[in-house]
Structure 1
C-alpha cells in the first residue's frame, strides 16, 4: 500500500457497543451477483473476484462488514464468501448481520421469522460465517407492529453468548424505544440519503442524541434500491463532483457521512475500482456552501 492510498481510517471512527469501527464499511449484498440484487436471472459474480474485493477492503482499512444469510444468489452466498476470504478473522473486524427475513433454497422469500424461528436464523449465520458468536445482529422488520417478542428472543440469545450486540433495521421511531426497554441498541440501519424525508432525518438525529450508530442503506443507490446506483444525480451533485474531481456517487456518500459523526456508511460493490472510490469518499470534506447546495435542510450538522 502506498502512502497515497486513501484508507477507511480517513472517514473517522465510531463505537458499536465495545467495538470501534471506521465509518466507511462494506455492504455484502451486491457481492454475489451482477445486476439487481436478488434477481433470479442475474449472473453469479466471479468467485475469485468477490474474494479479492473482500480482501482488498480489509487492506484499505475496512473493519465493518454488513451481511445476511439471505444475501445469496445461484452459486454464491455472501456469508460463505466472507468466510472463505477473511477467516481466520482479524481481531478488529466487526461483522454485522440481519435476521427476520428468510429465503428458501430456490431464492423465494419466506414470511418474516417468528420469535421462535430467530435462533435458527442466528445459528445459520454462525455456521456460514464459521463463528461461535455474532458481533452485531440487526432485527430487520416490515411494518409498524410491535417487535417486543422478536427483539426479546434476540436479547435472550445475547445473554446466552451467541450475539454480542443488537441493532434494528427498517424501523419506525417507536420501535427503537420499544427495543431499548428490552436490551441496549447499538445501531439503527434504515434507508437514508440525499433527499431523505423529514421523518428519516428525525430518526437519524434521534440516534445521534442517544449515541446510537445510524447506518444508511441505499445511500448511493437511492431510488435505484437493489438495482444499484441511480443515474439521475442532480446538477448540484454533478457540479460538486467535478469541482472535487470525483464521481457523483462519491459526493452522495460523502454528504451522508457529513450528517453526523454517528453515521456509518456500508456501500457495497463487487468491483475493485468502485471499492477504492467508495473508501476514498470517506476523506472528502464538503464545505457548508456545498452542503447547502446539495440539501439546504441538512446543513450545520456536527461531523
Structure 2
C-alpha cells in the first residue's frame, strides 16, 4: 500500500502528498454555513493534522462562506513548503443556504481571485471545477476559463469534481486534467441517487483515473460510507480492534493506489481516529471478505 501519491506526475511541477488528506468542510457551522461552534478546536484540528503528516487539505470558498479558507490561513500561514491546499470552484451559496452554479468564465475568475485572497496565496496548487449538472455553460467554456487561469499562473493544476466517466473523458480531451474529486467509498462504487440529485462516478471513473494516472479524491467517504447492515465491516473492524469508520478509510487506501481519501471531522478525537486508520493493514483475506 503506497504511503504517498503524486499529482500530475508527468508535469513540470508534480506534487507528491501523503495518501491520507483532510477535508475541511465539516469545520463550518450547521448546513456548511457560518463559523464553527468551537473555533479553537477547529484551528487545533488543522494544526494537529499537519503536524501528524497530513499535507493535503481540501477546501472551497463556498464553505462557510470563506470560513474554511480563513481558518486554514489563521492556523497554518505561512504555509509549509510541502503543504498542498486544494480548493473548488463552480458553485456558490445563496442566503437561503441553497447550492447553485457559479460557473460562467467571469464567475470562475472571481472565485479563483477570492480563494487566493482568503488563503493568502499567489497561486493555488490544485483547483477542482465542480460540475453542477446540465446547464447553460458548456464544459469546454468552463474548463477553458480554468486552463486560461492556469496559463496566467493563478492555478498550478486543474481537476474536475462530481463527474461521470464520460465527462472526465471529455475533460481530458480539452486539456491537462490532474485529479478527480467524486463521492466514493466502500459502499459507494456505483452511481447513487441522492437527495440533491445523482452522484456520478464510481468504479468506472476510478478505472479511467488509473489509466491516466489521476488521483481520485473521495469526498463524503464517511458521511454516507457504510452499508446497512454492517456485518462484514464490523467483523473486519473487530479483527483489527478498529472502528467501522476506520475500516472504511483503510479499505480506500488498499482498494487502489490512485485513491487519496480526505475524511473530514469537526472533532479532534475523531481526527486522531481517522489518522490512525492509515496504520491498519488489511490482508488479502480481509479485502476478499469485504468484497
Range into which the TM-score falls when normalised by the shorter chain: 0.7 to 0.9
Shift of 1:235: 0.7
SS of match in other structure, 2:44: helix
Match of 1:226 in 2: none
| Range moving further from structure 2, 103-112 or 266-275 | 103-112
| Range moving further from structure 2, 100-109 or 164-173 | 100-109
Structure 2 portions without partners, runs of 5+: 9-13, 192-200
Match of 1:5 in 2: none
> Any residues of structure 2 matched to 1:34-45 within 5 Å, and which?
37-38=31-32, 44-45=36-37
Match of 2:46 in 1: 54
TM-score, reference length from structure 2? 0.88
> Any residues of structure 2 matched to 1:193-208 within 5 Å, and which?
193-195=185-187, 196-197=189-190, 200-208=202-210
Match of 2:253 in 1: 257
Q: What is the alpha-carbon distance in structure 2 between the residues aligned to residue 106 and residue 132 of structure 1? A: 32
Shift of 1:121: 0.5
Match of 2:147 in 1: 155
Name the count of aligned residue pairs: 274
Q: Of 88, 106, 110, which residue of structure 2 is paired with 1:120?
A: 110
> Any residues of structure 2 matched to 1:81-230 within 5 Å, and which?
81-104=71-94, 107-143=97-133, 146-195=138-187, 196-197=189-190, 200-222=202-224
TM-score, reference length from structure 1? 0.85
Structure 1 portions without partners, runs of 5+: 1-9, 224-229, 296-303
CA deviations 1:16-51 (Å, max 9, x no partner) are: 121110000000000123xx54368xx832111100
State the superposition RMSD in angstroms: 2.1
Q: What is the alpha-carbon distance in structure 1 between the residues aligned to residue 5 and residue 281 of structure 2? A: 18
- The answer to whether the Cα contact below 8 Å between 1:68 and 1:98 also exists between their aligned partners in 2 is yes
> Any residues of structure 2 matched to 1:281-300 within 5 Å, and which?
281-295=277-291
- The answer to whether the Cα contact below 8 Å between 1:29 and 1:37 also exists between their aligned partners in 2 is no
Q: What is the alpha-carbon distance in structure 2 between the residues aligned to residue 84 and residue 233 of structure 1? A: 41
Match of 1:271 in 2: 267
Shift of 1:112: 3.1
Shift of 1:11: 6.3
